[in-house]
């Protein structure tokens, strides 16, 4: 996928400019999350959004690439706001003091976004997981330097807390962590949309705690 610069994409129509644009975003996020990026066409998105004009995506967003970028940056910006607030609370108390605390700052804001923001958070973690499979470098390429500052703050804290581990090993484990967290958050999001039993299992605080604990273990494990 060839994507224009994020700056150029963000010069396009704002997400809040109209009901049609919002509906196209919500529909595209759902279809991409369910079927993957490559499998979904802009014509399908327009049709599923109830648009007679099959060029609706082009009119509002320009290209499919720009639409994908808009969905990504829109969600990432909202998660980042939560992450910065989460970190600020930890740092105000002299933290994060443990690897688990720093990992929680990565996981909790993403989970909360999916749980609390129906307009923008619905299907977002599943969309991210699909996007990472489609183009592993896409997310970093688009978010780098503007929409992942909170995430980078978390990694900086983790490097300090894991100072006994060589930097190269730290970076490998951060990559493992990202894959694990993305996959589990996507599964959690899907499960919460299923039947009552699955919702009870994943909605509990204990389930989220276990996700944080096991993710931290990836970083703290010693051979």
| Parent domain of 72 | 6-220
Q: Rounded to an integer, what is the distance from CA 112 to the centroid of its chain?
A: 11
Instruction: Round to whole Å and give the CA distance between 123 and 135.
Output: 18
Within a domain: 1: no
pLDDT of residue 198: 66
* pTM (2 d.p.): 0.85
Q: Radius of gyration (Cα) for the chain, nearest Å?
A: 18
Assess if residue 106 is contained within a domain: yes
* pLDDT per 10-residue tile (average), the chain, 223 residues: 35 55 94 95 93 87 93 95 96 97 97 90 93 90 89 97 96 96 93 73 84 97 83
Q: Domain with 197 in it: what CATH number?
A: 1.10.357.10
Give per-residue pLDDT as tens, 145-193.
789 999 999 999 999 999 999 999 999 999 999 999 999 999 999 988 8
Question: How many structural domains comprise the chain?
Answer: 1
């Amino acid at each position: 996928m060839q994507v224009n610069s994020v700056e150029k994409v963000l010069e396009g129509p704002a997400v809040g400019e109209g009901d049609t644009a919002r509906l196209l975003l919500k529909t595209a996020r759902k279809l991409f999350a369910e079927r993957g990026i490559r499998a979904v066409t802009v014509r399908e998105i327009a049709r599923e959004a109830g648009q007679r004009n099959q060029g609706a995506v082009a009119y509002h967003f320009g290209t499919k690439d720009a639409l994908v970028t808009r969905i990504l940056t829109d969600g990432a910006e909202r998660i980042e706001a939560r992450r910065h607030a989460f970190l600020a609370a930890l740092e105000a108390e002299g933290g994060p003091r443990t690897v688990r605390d720093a990992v929680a700052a990565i996981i909790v804001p993403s989970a909360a976004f999916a749980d609390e923001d129906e307009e923008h958070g619905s299907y977002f973690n599943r969309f991210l997981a699909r996007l990472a499979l489609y183009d592993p470098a896409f997310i970093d390429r688009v978010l780098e330097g503007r929409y992942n500052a909170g995430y980078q703050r978390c990694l900086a804290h983790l490097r300090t807390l894991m100072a006994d581990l060589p930097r190269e090993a730290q970076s490998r484990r951060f990559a493992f962590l990202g894959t694990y967290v993305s996959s589990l958050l996507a599964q959690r999001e899907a499960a919460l949309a299923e039947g009552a039993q699955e919702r009870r299992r994943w909605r509990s605080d204990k389930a989220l705690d276990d996700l944080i604990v096991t993710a931290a273990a990836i970083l703290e494990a010693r051979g």
